[in-house]
Amino acid sequence: MNETEDGQGIRAANVLIIGGGLSGTLLAVQLLRLPGVRQILVIEPRDELGRGEAYSAVELGHTLNGNAARMSVDPENADDLTQWLTAHIAAGGWPESDRQHVPVSELFPPRGLFGLYAQQRLAEARALSASRVEHIRAEVIDVQVDRSSTWLTLDNGEQLRGDCAVLATGMFPAARTPQTASSGLNAAAVDPWNVSAMRQLDPQSTVLIIGSGLTMVDAVVSLEQAGHRGPIEVFSRHGLLPHVRRQPPAWEDFLAGDQRLCSPLQLMREVRRQCQRAMAQGIDWQAPLDTVRVHIARLWSQASERHKRQFVRHVRPWWESHHHRSPPLSAALVERLHGEGRLRIQAASFQGLESSVNGQVTLRLRRRREVHATFVSGCALINSSGIEYDWRRVARPLPRQLLARGLVQPGPLALGIAADESGGVLDVQGVASERLFAMGPPLRGMWWESTAVTDVALQAKALAARLVAG
């Protein structure tokens, strides 16, 4: 099918891509690069494709947490982003890049600039392809599937029909903290990346942050750029900060030839042993840890349900802080503020939000190893608790409808949704669909690391080939 309308006046296409952030955009790029002529509709409510929430940031201080050499969107060329950045900087773009004093491959670009890079790769693929990509500015609120087609209902009432549809929905943020009834700026509604809203705060006031991961690091950068100079109180269950990302030398791939390591405990022991070996030789401990990256999907998919639960329950917080590391400039800011005493990290569980009084917001917390709750107040609250992977808890129409219709089922450990190895979504009966597919963050439970740029790029290439093959 290459027509844009069927006999009933409903817009139709070969492939319907639900979501136009990085996942959906990279899938569109890969489809455009394949031989043949196809009609592709990308349904994305934002004005632009290729950005999503992650790459819509406009502040230069909000950078990728990986350097250019690690963030190529082209699975065939690991240097693609480095090459694009080199040309972009040479043409006068991003003049601030010289502040990092490193080669282009080691630069940590602003997220907004990375979004531009993805957009340009899409534009180039469009220019060279006989296929066509069209951006539909709307939100998909329902999906139906029959033997020959998929049907999408949009929030504007329009319907679309396609030979197949792909859930490239990206990441759903964890539910924002409930708002409080207060005068002036709503203290519980400050977004981690909203520098303009932060400029409305008293610069000497206390700001409270829930969560201590990379979103918290971004929130601290935002506060600094907004001119905030008061105390910052950070609370998370384990009180762990992301380590700073460095550029260690190559280390032997110690997992390549050892298929015996299957449990989280075995893996942790071997990783610790390798890191100790490296440090004894004067080599950064991040070197052996980085070799684990390429094996994560295999290790996770081979693990038993019990081992997966052990990992999530006991290892995950330390894995996140050691593996999902902070860009150097952002980490330096956090370290400086911590050293000055302005920023405090505390291990405590968030238990609720109390009524706001006199423009203050009060949290109810239970500190680690304490039985009774304590109360902490500040002028603003930033929820940096991260991503919600359990679709049963996502308060959006599409996940709710898909679950209600039985078209999807929760993935392993309720992380995302279940699918077969080619991305075919499993329905409530466990049957893989030939019309409905998924990629990227929705497959977190399948591959664990299904959100990084390189993982999404590889999935996009494989899924495009699967869709074209029919």
| Residues 391-444: tens digit of each pLDDT | 999 989 999 999 999 999 999 999 999 999 999 999 999 999 999 999 999 999
The span from the CA of 54 to the CA of 36, in Å, is: 32
Beta strand 360-367 with 207-210: parallel, antiparallel or unpaired? unpaired
Cα separations (Å) of 9 from 37, 144, 158? 21, 18, 11
Asked if residue 130 lies in contact with residue 34, where contact means CB atoms within 8 angstroms, the answer is no
The pLDDT, as a whole number, for residue 184 is 38
The span from the CA of 416 to the CA of 439, in Å, is: 10
- The CATH 3.50.50.60 domain(s) of the chain lie at 11-62+110-173+389-469, 195-243+326-383
Q: What is the mean pLDDT of residues 108-128?
A: 97
Confidence of residue 451 (pLDDT cuts 50, 70, 90): confident
CATH superfamily of 195-243+326-383: FAD/NAD(P)-binding domain (3.50.50.60)
Angle of the 22-33 helix axis to the 453-469 helix axis, nearest 10:
50
Query: Can you give the three-state secondary structure of 361-380, one letter per residue?
Result: EEEEEEECCCCCCEEEEECE
| Each residue's pLDDT tens digit, 294-307 | 888 888 888 889 98
Asked if residue 127 lies in contact with residue 121, where contact means CB atoms within 8 angstroms, the answer is no
Question: pTM of the entire structure?
Answer: 0.91
- CB-based burial label for 141 (10 Å; 0-12, 13-18, 19+): middle
Distance of CA 397 to the CA centre of its chain: 20
Q: Poorest-confidence range of 113-127, 258-272, 339-353?
A: 258-272
Confidence of residue 449 (pLDDT cuts 50, 70, 90): confident
The span from the CA of 312 to the CA of 161, in Å, is: 39
Helix %, strand %, coil % for the chain, to 5? 35, 20, 40
The pLDDT, as a whole number, for residue 175 is 61
The pLDDT, as a whole number, for residue 8 is 66
Q: What is the mean pLDDT of residues 61-84?
A: 95
Structure tokens at 50: 């290729």
Host H or E run for residue 453: helix 453-469
CATH class of the region 11-62+110-173+389-469: alpha beta
Confidence of residue 178 (pLDDT cuts 50, 70, 90): very low
